[in-house]
Structure 1
Amino acid sequence: MESTASDYNYSYDNNDEKPVELCSTDGENLLGAQLSTIYYFMFLFSLFGNGLVLVIIHRFEKLTTVTNILLLNLVVSSLMFMSSLPFVGVYKQLSYWIFGEVMCKIVGSVYYLGFYSSVLFLTLLTFDRHLSVVYSLHASQVRNQRYALLSCAVVWLVSGLACIPQMILHKTFIHLMTNKTLCQEHPGNLTFVDADKLRDSTFYLQLFLFLLFPLIVIVYCYIRIAITVISSKIVTKFKTVRLIFVIVLLFFICWTPFNIVELIHDDDDDDNPSCDEKKKRGYAREVTHDIAYIYFCISPIFYTFVGKKFQSYFRQLLVKRFPGLKKHISVSQVSRTNMSTKSTQKSIELS
């Protein structure tokens, strides 16, 4: 979970170290408070969008297909991440934490659990699509319900283990100058663990396991998919992979700037940058972090309105809820039974 002030502005609970140079973070805090007003909108929009996806899956689909199982878990992880935003919004607007030590750890853990699991589920969806397109003749032997459930269990386990350092480092402590309670990664030493090594391991874990590794896997999978589609000229399969490709591309467009800023910040920690340089980094982190949030807010739009199948389902829901729209909206009925039968012959299309 991001901080409301930079990491050089705090008092330490154990008084082991002297405070370093103090720089004013009023401008960064003000920018963060102004941007945080959109968190509530993003939370509500995500709640509606992801909730709509869940309703559509429940109403029209069977949770026996690999794609739907993975998609359901992705929606859950997105909702989990977005549930932390109202707390972060209040925190940034007040510039101090009011929810207590326990909620500080819970919100920080949920934030990273939602982020990490979303990255891995996106990667898993892409790899699964790669199997169904590139190895379509043999993929059905591997792509079954057991494979999907086991994959999801592994993703949640890895994501949960990756959150342990954040649960340790995230805590409430007192700001040196303002005497306000903050909730974020503790900037000083901890008595029971080497905090510096834990921070470094957390950063590189996030960089390699949750950014570079997914990026390499996704690029490889889509190169193979593109070669297969071009060589076979199968238009329907091209339409199938299009939606996931857009979602994944959007994810990395939104998250890569923040990780680049974090990487620069980590590399320059020993250079004693000036206050002006620290302020610039603080502004960059605020802006790139908020851009990253946009992904979790608008991804339901692609699930619901870009995919042709979801468009049809959404129109059916509208007509059922508002019968007067039937004369203005064309609806093609797709029964759950027919869809279930087709899914045994090929993977469910997302678009």
Structure 2
Amino acid sequence: MPHNNTDNCSTSHFRYPLFTSTYSIVLLFGLPLNSVSLWILVCRNGLRKSVPGIYMANLALSDLLFTLSLPFRIIYFATGEWKLGNTLCMIPGTLFAVNIYSSSLFITLISVDRMLAVVYPLRSRHLRTVPMAWVFCVIVWLIIAGLAVPTALNHPENKDPECNVTRCFEKYTYEEWVMGFTILCCVTFFGILIPFCIILGCTVAVVRQLKGYSMATSSCSTEMSKSKIVKLFLSNLLIYAICFIPFHTAFILFGLHKLHILHGGNTLEMYFNLQTVTMCMASTNSCLDPLIYYFSSKNIQGRARCDSSSKTVGLGLVQSMSWNGQ
């Protein structure tokens, strides 16, 4: 919810061209990337055998819904005026929140699943089944649906009498800011902070486990599997570092100043500008998520080149971390 800057009715503030260009780029790359990813995950690979495939298909669906809402944002920030009605104003704002927190939760599920496959491959088999994966996905969507209702109600179009135009995505009342900030604090803790700690813990556990494989018993399949699984976890952490954490940090600081909980000179404008930039960074989430598909969507290649004396050990690690591993 952007800053109420009533001193200027034009679109000269840098946020308008920044949002317009950023959303256009995200739409340009995110729409084909996620469409192709979803097609490959659902139509080509299928969802009957692959647990991580189920999680990634739901992640791709969330990203695709967000990118499909971007034309509405582009139209508004290119013109500075909303003419499409209240319902179409609420939908893009809601889908932004839906994408951020559903992505966070699905990335967490992917990380936990891969950690269990590597660290506890036998004891966790009952948790890494297709029915259980769908149960977890349904739970995530139910949580997101519960978040979507108050978010939609808190993102209506707003009349700007000073400029005599209708606004969307900005110019919210103080009461809407209080409600929005309350929602933000709750979802930041449960939807960002806790999942990030879980992913970080999974990353540490996997790295420690992989170090346990000695060079004497490793094969080329093993080494390729190690590299692939480490890159998967690093890509998850990268998405949090670029998209989720900066945006929520800046948004909370801006909200604290906006609601007069924190005070200080020109810091409100500074945090508003920072929140604008980090919001653009957060929108790139739908373009970065295909990194996860890339590092998880192919079985490890090159097994035939491995030393036959160590093939059994390498193959065990490959199976524990491959796309089709249960």
With the length of structure 1 as denominator, give the TM-score of the two structures: 0.76
**Structure 1 residue 273: deviation in Å?**
5.0
Structure 1 distance, partners of 2:293, 2:127, is 25
Letter matched to residue 322 of structure 2: I
1:188 is the counterpart of 2:173? yes
Alignment size in residue pairs? 297
Among candidates 211, 215, 239, match of residue 196 of structure 2: 215
1:166 is the counterpart of 2:151? yes
Structure 2 distance, partners of 1:237, 1:301, is 16
Contact 2:118–2:320 under 8 Å retained in 1: no
Corresponding position of 1:46: 30
Corresponding position of 1:250: 238
Corresponding position of 1:126: 111
Q: Structure 1 unaligned runs (5+)?
A: 10-21, 313-341
1:94 is the counterpart of 2:79? yes
Against the structure 1 CA distance between its residues 347 and 224, is the aligned structure 2 distance closer, same or farther, given a 3 Å change threshold?
Answer: closer
5 Å-filtered alignment, 1:1-351, equals 2-3=1-2, 6-7=3-4, 9=5, 22-24=6-8, 29-58=13-42, 60-64=44-48, 65-184=50-169, 187-188=172-173, 195=176, 198-233=179-214, 234-255=222-243, 256-269=245-258, 270=260, 271=262, 274=265, 276-301=266-291, 303-304=293-294, 309=298, 346=320, 348-349=322-323
Corresponding position of 1:323: none
Structure 1 distance, partners of 2:12, 2:151, is 23
Q: Structure 2 unaligned runs (5+)?
A: 215-221, 302-315
Structure 2 distance, partners of 1:38, 1:187, is 23
Structure 1 distance, partners of 2:53, 2:279, is 29
Letter matched to residue 289 of structure 2: S
**Structure 1 residue 281: deviation in Å?**
2.3
With the length of structure 2 as denominator, give the TM-score of the two structures: 0.81
Corresponding position of 1:315: none
Structure 1 distance, partners of 2:106, 2:57, is 10
RMSD of Structure 2 on Structure 1 (CA): 2.8
**Structure 1 residue 265: deviation in Å?**
1.2
Structure 1 distance, partners of 2:281, 2:174, is 31
Letter matched to residue 265 of structure 1: F
**Structure 1 residue 127: deviation in Å?**
0.9
**Structure 1 residue 205: deviation in Å?**
1.4
Against the structure 1 CA distance between its residues 283 and 198, is the aligned structure 2 distance closer, same or farther, given a 3 Å change threshold?
Answer: closer
Structure 2 distance, partners of 1:245, 1:298, is 13
